[in-house]
């Protein structure tokens, strides 16, 4: 991180980047019910308010799922993503594009493999690529945000397949 004002792309060292996040993004409980698209008042996916970088991240005090958490982390650094569920995100071509290899602040998706009768990406776990072998994600297993390497995901059946990465397209999503 540099000393310049405003949110910066995190240092590629996961724990350092994690420690540099505001407390509201370091202490978030996992809650599957708080996902993008969950209706108000329980979980407004995109609360109205000031532009990115001018206010606190979306309210995560009641917890979040992995997608909502990843979107809040990106919003802290500037990029905004519409409130898409994982299959919608994987299919999206308006606000994001596929990225290979993943770069800092790209969204990365993991799953257990294809599910019969479901679209690609359905139920995928979402994290934020911080740098080489570092992914920040809201970890259901731990119940809080964690920084893992790609081997940590591969070692768990539910995350064994790296589906791919998505990069936010500049000006690809505007609130309103």
Q: Number of C-alpha atoms within 13 angstroms, CB side, residue 145? A: 27
Structurally, at CATH architecture level, domain 14-168 sits in: Alpha-Beta Complex (3.90)
* Per-residue pLDDT tens digits for 8-63: 555 544 555 777 888 889 999 888 776 665 554 343 334 444 444 433 445 788 88
* Per-residue pLDDT tens digits for 93-123: 999 999 999 999 999 999 999 889 998 898 8
Q: Where are the domains of the chain?
A: 14-168
């Amino acid at each position: 991180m540099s000393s310049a004002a405003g949110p910066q792309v995190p240092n590629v060292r996961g724990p350092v980047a994690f420690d540099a996040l505001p407390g509201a993004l370091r202490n978030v409980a996992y809650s599957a019910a708080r996902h993008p698209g969950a209706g108000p008042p329980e979980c407004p996916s995109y609360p109205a308010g000031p532009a990115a970088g001018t206010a606190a991240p979306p309210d995560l005090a009641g917890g979040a799922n992995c997608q909502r958490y990843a979107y809040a982390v990106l919003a802290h650094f500037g990029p905004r993503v519409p409130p898409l569920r994982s299959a919608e995100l994987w299919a999206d071509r308006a606000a994001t594009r596929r990225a290979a290899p993943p770069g800092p602040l790209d969204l990365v998706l993991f799953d257990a493999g294809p599910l019969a009768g479901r679209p690609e990406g359905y139920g995928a776990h979402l994290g934020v690529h911080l740098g080489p072998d570092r992914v920040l994600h809201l970890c259901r297993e731990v119940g809080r945000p964690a920084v893992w390497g790609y081997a940590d995901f591969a070692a768990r059946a539910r995350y064994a397949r790296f589906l791919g990465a998505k990069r936010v397209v500049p000006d690809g999503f505007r609130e309103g």
